[in-house]
Chains A and B, each alone.
Chain A
Amino acid sequence: MSDCDKCEELLQGYLDRELSDSEVVVAEGHLDGCDYCRRRYRFEETLRVYVRTTAVERMPPGLMAKLAELRTTDAGTSAV
């Protein structure tokens, strides 16, 4: 169980791809042998993707035009 505690600690960084190479080796080594953690890692991964996709709202349609009006340069000089 102490192994799983350690693994849980590495969970965030592992999923965020912020671990050092040696930490990745430790995390993956544990995952290979631990069904409990592997299942939960997958869950965390799914959850993260789900949060990322469901909590995203596109910009309202009129906003871009309002932002473009805030430009200080003459929009006519723009190449696009």
Chain B
Amino acid sequence: MGESGTAEPDEARRVATEARDRVRFEEEALGLADQVYRVARRFVSTREEAEDLVQETYARAFRSWQSYTPGTNLRAWLLRILTNLNTDRGRRLQRRPDETPLEESDYYLANRMAQSGGEQVLDQDRVVERLSQDSIVTALSSLPDDFRDVVVLVDIGDFSYADAAQILDIPVGTVMSRLHRGRRQLKAGLAEEAVG
């Protein structure tokens, strides 16, 4: 503050306004930390990695806060930084998931479970009974990275297709096809656990 003793009143006001905007930005961003973390946690395999990733994300966000446009989706802006960092750090194997074959139907898991235990296993309580938390986390983490990114953003992060497209810098149609394929693979993985 005191570095320019010759500042005009206008300049002083500008500096004060900027400082206030900056504090507001930081607090708004910190308020989203839990939501950012839960997405980060499913992008990487350990809690430590997730913590590192979130810290790097916030360090970068605080440095480049002025490139955020107030009034736009801050959570999506933070996640965009996070996914870029995650990619840069080379945590991902470069697979080409869009070329993997896709035979199962959307109803694959439902049909497998119904075959093994009758239609009533599709009822809410039975579904929860048969699927464990571990199996869901395992099935998510074994998805190809490009699929997992989309599934995690939409299903865990609760982002719209349009937001996910913006975060990952891919077309909405690609979000939809990766989501579709990712969820089918997820269900195939769960079927192995739940039905064998």
Contact = CB atoms under 8 A, between A and B. Distances in A.
Interface residues of B, number: 49
Given A12-B183, A40-B122, A43-B127, A55 B156 contact: yes
Contact of A72 (B63, B106, B111, B131): B63
A72 B27 CA distance: 12
B136 A51 contact: yes
Given A46-B127, A70-B59, A56 B156 contact: yes
Nearest to A68: B30
Given A11-B106, A54-B133, A60-B47, A77 B23 contact: yes
A18 B162 CA distance: 10
3 interchain residue pairs of minimum CB distance: A59-B37, A54-B133, A43-B110
Contacts of A51: 136, 140, 155-156, 186
Please report whether the interface of chain A is mostly helix, strand, loop or mixed according to DSSP.
helix
B131 A64 contact: no
| Chain B interface, >50% SS class | helix
A50 B107 contact: no
B12 interface: no
Interface of A: 8, 11-13, 16, 18, 39-40, 42-44, 46-48, 50-52, 54-60, 63-64, 66-68, 70-73, 77-80
B23 A50 contact: no
Q: Which of B30, B54, B63, B107 has the most CB of A within 10 A?
A: B107
B6 interface: no
17 contacts: A11-B106, A12-B106, A13-B176, A39-B110, A40-B110, A42-B124, A46-B124, A46-B127, A50-B136, A51-B140, A55-B137, A55-B140, A57-B41, A59-B33, A60-B51, A63-B37, A79-B23
A6 to B, nearest CB: 12
A46 B161 CA distance: 20
A64 B180 CA distance: 34
A41 to B, nearest CB: 9
A78 B82 CA distance: 25
A66 B122 contact: no
A46 B125 CA distance: 9
Given A39-B119, A54-B133, A56-B156, A8 B105 contact: yes
A37 B110 CA distance: 10
B104 to A, nearest CB: 11
Given A18-B161, A64-B33, A72-B62, A44 B127 contact: no
B59 A46 contact: no
Nearest to A53: B133
A11 B133 CA distance: 24
